[in-house]
Each structure stands twice: as C-alpha cells, then as structure tokens.
Chain A
Amino acid sequence: MTDLADLTIAEATAGLRSGDFTAVDLLGAVELRAAVSESQIHAYLTLDREGARTAAEAADQAIADGDTRPLLGIPVAVKDNMVTKGVETTAGSQILAGWTPPYSGTAVKRIEDAGAVIVGKTNLDEFAMGSSTENSAYGPTRNPWNTDTVPGGSSGGSAAAVAAGSALGAYGSDTGGSIRQPAALTGTVGAKPTYGLVSRYGLIAFASSLDQIGPIAQTVPDAATLLETVVGWDPLDATSYHGDVPAISRSLDAGVAGVRIGVVAELAGDGIDPDVLAATRTTIGQLADAGAEIVELSLPAIEYALSAYYLIAPAECSANLARFDGVRYGLRVDGATTEEMMARTRAEGFGPEVTRRILLGTYALSAGYYDAFYGQAQRVRTLLRREFAAAYDQVDVLVSPTAPTTAFEIGSKTTDPLTMYLSDICTIATNLAGDPAMSVPVGVGDDGLPIGFQVLAPSLGEEVMFQVAAEVERLAGFNDRAKLATSKVVAP
C-alpha cells in the first residue's frame, strides 16, 4: 500500500471520505515522514503537534458528520511569515525569535476554517528575502531531491515539505518568484495569484505592493483546491480585490485546443541553461500538438524588471521592517538610550541580506535620489504593465521557464548577491505587473533535478492559467518524487 504521506490532496480526500483512513492516520503518516525527513532537509521551523492533533480529531468528527469541505482533514504546512495565533512566528528572523502572535492572519483563518490540519510553520529566507532559503536565521532548508542543493526560496521550506511528503500541500508567499522558483526546484506545483486575490492581513510584509500568498502542491488540481480555500475579499486588507473570484478549477479538464499561447522571447535564450530551455521547448511543442496556437512575443521591458524590482521591493521593505525596533515585541538589545537600544536591536536582529535591502531601500527613497531610483523604477513598472496588457490582447497566456537553472548547490551563490538575484529573472516581472503565474514540473535536467515550466496569465486570469497548467501536467506526465534516504531511522 502507498504511504499515506505520498498521496495527493485529491486522493487523500477520497480516502478520508470513503473511510479508508482517518485524518488522524493521515497526520500520523505525515508526522512520521517529517521525523525521517526533517533531519535531512529542515523544512520546518515549528511543528505544532498539539494543534495539528486537535485539528485532525475535529476533522474526523466532521467527516463522520458528513462534512465535505475540500481541505477537511488534509495536513498542510504554512510559511513562517504567516501569522498564527499561539504558534511561534519568526519570518526566519532572529529579531522575532520567540514571538507568539496574539492573532491569526486571514489566510490562516480560512485554512483552519476549511478544516485543514496545519502541521507546522516552514522555513524561509529571512522576511522572505532570498531565492535559496539559505538566508534563514535558523539554518538552511535542503532540497529533498539532492540534499547538497537548495530548494529555492524564499518559500523553500514549504516547497521542500511538499516534495518530501511532510505535508500534502503548503502555502508560501511570492514577492518576486518566492513560490514559483522553489516549486520549480523541488518538482512541485506553485502558484502566485493575481495581486489582491488573497488577503495579506497577517502576512508579515516584505514588499506590500508585490507580496501574495499562494499554494504549493503535488499536482495542479491540488494547487487549485488550496488556492480556492484562501481567495476572496477581506475587509482587513485595503488592497484585497472586491469582486467576483475567478473560477480557478472550472476548466482543469478543458485542454488547450484553440488556446493562444505566447512564448516570451526575452525569457527563451540568454541566461537560461540549455537543458531548461530544451525542456521548455519540448513542452511548448506538446502544447502545439494538443491544439494550442503558439505565438512568439516580445516584452522588451522585462530586461529592466530585475533592476526595478530591486529598487521597489527594498524601498517598501525599508519602511515595512521599521517596526522591528525592540520596543513592543521580539528581540531587544539594551542600550544607554532608546535610540541606541533600537539601533543595537536592529543591527543584531537582522541578517546581512535583510540589512542590505533595508539600506538599499532607504537610499533609493532619500531626498535627491528618489526620482532617479524609486521614481524611475515605478515608471518601468508602469511600462511593464502596459507591455503585459498589450501581450494579453494577443494571447490568452504566456509561457517561459520558471527558473534559469535547476537547483544549485548550497553555498554556491551566497557570496554574490547579484547572481542569486538572477535566479528570479523569469518570475519577477509578473509581480511588478500584479498578474498571476504558476510553475508546473515538466521533467529533469542533466543533473536529474526537476525543471519547472511557467504559465503566466492576465490579472484574474486564474481560470485559463490553471487550464493550461493542468494540460501541461498531463502532457509532461512527470510523476517522479524526490527520493530521500529513509533508511536513516528505519535501520539504525
């Protein structure tokens, strides 16, 4: 029999409803998997055993009462920048070590209200700033496919947990690719929804105009289920979308016949590894064979997306992270004056990448520099939005690789921030445009590590995005799972 920890959400839901196993059984299998995998990958910062057990028991009761909520009894993980009442939330930072929130964010509440079982809080690059999960103050997460490599980031913990089976699904946050890039590097499906579709209330802010919560799962339908659970207007988030939510899973089986698919020229050559490009081309060919109309398109402003992003995101974070001052919560390092206390707390509490971005952002907003840096970046953003909008006049979705490479070795890019920033080259533009995009695994590279294929859609175009992604998944037929050593605990 299959290990319950390897089931998809859809399979597990069927099993729970037919009484093949209970939510408590399922949680047990996932926790057993975590017991094996955690020492190898360190996907979690906190495992909430008690809370998970209570939720699983409640789910079993509800199932017995005939309740059929889609995520009922499903063990999921949430990124540790999502605030959870009563469960330590650190955002991967020393400055929040030991902070137990008095409230839960809206997305977390919706996950709980859906009857899901939150297994724990996953590791991330500190305050979601990074592309490898090496910037966590609590140590890196490793890729279950090869523990010498990174799982991507910043939602590396969530992606690694799903890849390893220590959660059936997970939630991450995506500011410049932080869901899609780790999904690509761990062979999982990851989606960043339209900006405003999921409430940011209770998501510890990195860059408020870019941050979005989204799902990571084994399959496209599972990702749709996870996303459907958290979307919808929230009066507590003034930027949340107050309109009809897209029918995310309505067209999963519709295929791609007649769908117009644009290939982004700027993301199909320079800076992308040949094996990644080859896999991308193969998938595009399969889509054409399946009846899609393929169009090559150019979005020249993409060239400036990375530069614009590294002004806008740091500028916003320089203000967003100002509240961590040792006055009200988190770390406090004493000083002779209040000012000194604040300065010491921040110097000690923030890691080097966070400090770098705060400084960069502060500089970009300074009098005399604002217009040349922040102002110019906003103009690039406007230009990008226009180019994307014009592209979506011609096609239904755009496609590209998700990441320029497969998973890279731990430590290989930590000394050169710019090289690290380039791993988000394919994902960053969507965040600036506010549009949705998702990654689907389509194969492995020369190193045997997974390759992700990115589907981008116009704002609120989740229905067609999931429709195409589901077809990509079927066409690729990529069902490999990460193979972690299991013998370590089984045979001591």
Chain B
Amino acid sequence: MTEWEAVIGLETHVELQTNSKMFCGCPVDFGDEPNTAVCPVCLALPGALPVPNEQAIEGILSIGEALDCTLTEDSLFYRKNYFYPDLPKNYQISQYTFPLCVDGRVDVDVDGEPTTVGITRVHMEEDTGKSTHVGQSGRIHGAEHTLLDFNRAGVPLVEIVTEPDIRSPEQARAYGTELQRIVRAIGVSDARLEEGSMRFDANISVRPVGEQKLGTRTEVKNVNSLRSMQRAIAFEITRQIEILEGGGSIHQETRHWDEAKGMTRSGRTKEESEDYRYFQDPDLLPLHIDEAWRDRVAARRPELPAAKRERYMGLGTDRRNADLLVDAGDLAGLFEEAVALGADARNTGIWLTGEVVRYLRNEGVDVADTGLTAASLKQLSTMTSDGDLSATAAKDVLAAVLAGEGTPREIAEARDLLQMSDSTAIEAEVLAVLDEHPDALEKIQSGDMKPIGFLVGQVMRATGGKADPRMVQDLIRRRADG
C-alpha cells in the first residue's frame, strides 16, 4: 500500500491596525456607519492618487524582521487588475516582484518535534470594500440588489506566504499559532481569526512518500479558527488520498471549509486561470528602505515569543506553561514581576496558567480587577517552599487572594491552613499515634512498609491536616529505624 505525504503551504492575510488606510488618510474603523470612512482616494474618484502609509509599511517591515526575512532595499508596488464592484479602482495595489520582505523562517514544534517553516515573502496589499447581497439567498446569484460599503476599502493588509514546508495539519496549526503570537507581540494587529483580522488560506497536495514531484493542489479557504484550519487540512488530505487511491485525480480548485458539516466543498471552478495583468503602479515610486530605516525597525523589535518562551523555560517553567504564559499577555507580566521578587517560577507558572486563568474566565474579569499582585504570588511561593502551606491549601489560598480576601498569610491564618512546621509538636503527635498502633510499628520494623501510609493518615487526622505529610513520614521512618 502506498504511504502518502502531505505538502502544505499557507498564505496568511493580516489586517494592520494603523491609524489610517494604506493610501489615504481615512480612519481604519470597522464600527462606523457604511461609507463614512471614505474619501476621493479610497472611493477611486477620478483624479485621486494613492500615497503610501508609512505606519503600515513599518508594520509590515516589523513582521518581516520578526520572521527573519531580508528587507528589500527598493520595493515595488504593482497593480493587480480585475473587475469587481467592491474593488473601487477595479485594480488592487499589491506587490509582485520585489516585495517588502523575502526569505524568512518560523520555527515550530509539534509534540517536541521541531520543524522550520520557510517564509517566501511578506508583502503589502489593500483590502476591498464589502458587498452585501440583498435577496432570498444572501448570495450573489439571485440577489435582487447589492449594497456596497467602502469603509474597509484600502485598509492595509499584509500577506505572509510560506514555502510548502508543512507536512501535517498539526504543524499547520502550530505555525498558525506561532505566527499569531509573533504578530501580536509586535503589536501591529490583534490577529483574530474570528473577526477576520487574520485569515488563512491553505494550499494542500499529497504525494507518495519518496516522490519529489508535487501533486496537484487545492486551495482551502474560509477557515475562521486555527482549530478549523487543522480540521480542514486533515479533511482535505484524507479526501485527496481517497481519490488518488480510488484511481481518480485531483482538480486544481478552490475549496471552502464548511465548519458545520466538517468538510470542504468545491468552489466555483474557473474555466481559465485569471490573468491579473500585473504591472508596476506608475502612481507609486519604488519604496527605498535604507539602512537607517532597517536599523530603526530592528531596534523596535520586541522580545519575540520564541525568545520569551526560552527565557521562561530557563527560569524553570515547563514548555506548556511557558507557551500559555506567552499567550496570556498580562499574566506574563505578573509572572515576570513575581519571579523578579524571588517567587518560584515553576509554581508561579502553574498557578497563573491554572487556578488564575480559570478564575478569570469564570468571573469574567481581568487580572487587574483581582487582589492578585506580584507580592502576593511571592508570599504564596515562599510559604509553600517553606512548608507552611500544602499544595492543596495553596490553591485555596490563591482563590481567596483573587477574591480580594487579603494576603496569602492573612488568609492562611484566618482559615487555619498553616501547616505545623514545628518538629517537636509534630513528633509528639507521631509518638502518640505509634503508641496507639504498636502492631503497625512492628510490621514496618520487620520490613513491611505498607502501614506507613496508614500511620501518616492518622497523624494528619490528629493534627487537623496541618502537619507537613513529608515531615510526618520522615519521623515515622526514623522512629522505626531507631
């Protein structure tokens, strides 16, 4: 039986959160009444001309820089020609040869297995307007009329294109997640798939393992979460393999992911491939990015997710918690503050990504709205490592801290949760229990260790759970040996 290998490349569009549109001064604001954030330029009135938005260019350069791309010295703008009612100029200003950034990489990790995804190019585009088809079906066919809103027309977009380096749906998702983290870390977009500020198109083909030639690919669109991207790719791989194993062939086409049905559907197949008649836009001169500009972009590069993750792991958190902290922006800040005060990184990481995240989600509040501070995390950490607080008790205390009941020590004292760490007091309790159960002591002394657990339980009961179980066990063993 043939063993198959999937070859996947991703194209990602990210909407940049700039103050104004790509080529005019109109605000980028999606909440406005239709056709209010428009001007002669983005409505393509006769005579209007585009002027590139420096903030958008810098945003794109920052993304390229973060993806280890080479920044092009003289980048060119092109016109991509096609007629569509919501495309005001009936051409889109885009890039073709000499895009802003080329040849980058993203390192991802699936279950401990690292892969490098090559980045072919990162380039600038402008968004189109929005068509609303009014009629029974809500689709263009059979619509009675179409309403157009040009508020979105000309909003800056960045397109990030990978090499066909991805081999599994899991890798695709890991890449998507990492890219989202990077874009958010740079702060140029909120990169939300549900709201369309980040969109993925996946090019997928399969081939027998060992084959060098690429199979015919399909392009899957309309995935609106990273999870559905993974599902869509998995579905498409299976579909293609089934067709090929059944002796059929793959049609090069665009397929749409149907989330409800969990499958991809064929889009309209085009009889002929579209000819966009790309040519350099004569309204825009080549964009010269000099060394000073490149240095400026590099200097502004924030700590990227990969570096931050590595640093957290160096402090003692495990990879999963490090990822979770990197994703949870404000908690990462609290984490760093607490660790700087001397809190244990591993425990702090576990608390923040476990108990705290759960509490915030259940209560629907931000961490700033709670009583949790770096200082209280540090105190909680110290109490735990000193043996004043059991792991279970620590979680209860943390919940109370979040609820604003006080500092960890205040709460532990008020609730009588402090462990007995005074060894003489515990030793007295141990002796009392051993006296009550001489048979158990004998068994241990003869090499049967089973009763230890029972004896610890008895001591814990006698102390109301406040003895440190480790210390109790230690004392019992010592007594038996002695």
Contacts and interface: CB of A to CB of B under 8 A. Distances in A.
Interface of A: 81-83, 89, 91, 96, 99, 101-103, 105, 200-205, 207-209, 235-239, 315-316, 318-319, 322-325, 327-329, 338-339, 342, 362, 365-367, 370, 374
B343 interface: no
Nearest to B287: A238
B46 A338 contact: no
Given A238-B284, A319-B279, 5 more contacts: A235-B51, A322-B91, A324-B46, A367-B277, A370-B277
A318 B90 CA distance: 10
Given A207-B282, A239-B283, A366-B277, A338 B85 contact: yes
B275 A366 contact: yes
Given A96-B46, A325-B90, A238 B85 contact: no
B85 A204 contact: no
B247 interface: no
Contacts of A325: 83, 85, 90
Interface of B: 40, 43-52, 79, 81, 83, 85, 88-91, 140, 146, 148, 275, 277-279, 282-285
Contacts of A238: 49-52, 283-285
Contact of B49 (A96, A236, A316, A339): A236
B277 A201 contact: no
Contacts of A362: 277
A315 B88 CA distance: 19
Interface centre among B45, B47, B277 (most CB of A within 10 A): B47
Contacts of A208: 282-283
Top 9 closest pairs, chain A to chain B, by CB: A322-B90, A209-B282, A208-B282, A365-B277, A83-B47, A202-B47, A204-B46, A323-B44, A367-B275
A204 B51 contact: no
A207 B285 CA distance: 15
21 contacts: A89-B46, A99-B46, A105-B47, A201-B49, A209-B282, A237-B51, A238-B52, A318-B277, A319-B79, A319-B89, A322-B81, A322-B83, A322-B89, A325-B83, A327-B88, A329-B45, A338-B85, A338-B146, A342-B85, A366-B275, A370-B277
Contacts of A365: 81, 277-279
Contact of A203 (B47, B275, B282): B47
Contact of A328 (B43, B81, B278): B43
Contacts of A318: 81, 277
Given A103-B40, A362-B277, A366-B277, A201 B283 contact: no
Nearest to A105: B47
Contacts of A81: 47
B38 to A, nearest CB: 10
A209 B285 CA distance: 10
A366 B83 CA distance: 15
A81 B47 CA distance: 8
A205 B48 CA distance: 9
A319 B40 CA distance: 17
B81 A319 contact: yes
A324 B43 CA distance: 12
Nearest to A103: B40
Contact of A319 (B48, B50, B91, B285): B91
Nearest to A328: B43
A201 B83 contact: no
A323 B51 contact: no
A24 to B, nearest CB: 30
Contacts of A91: 46
A315 B90 CA distance: 14
A101 B39 CA distance: 12
A103 B45 contact: yes
Contacts of B91: 319, 322
Contacts of A339: 83
A339 B50 CA distance: 26
B76 to A, nearest CB: 13
Contacts of B278: 365
Contacts of B52: 238
Nearest to A207: B282
A327 B45 CA distance: 11
A203 B49 CA distance: 9
Contacts of B40: 102-103
Nearest to B284: A238
A327 B83 CA distance: 11
A293 B221 CA distance: 69
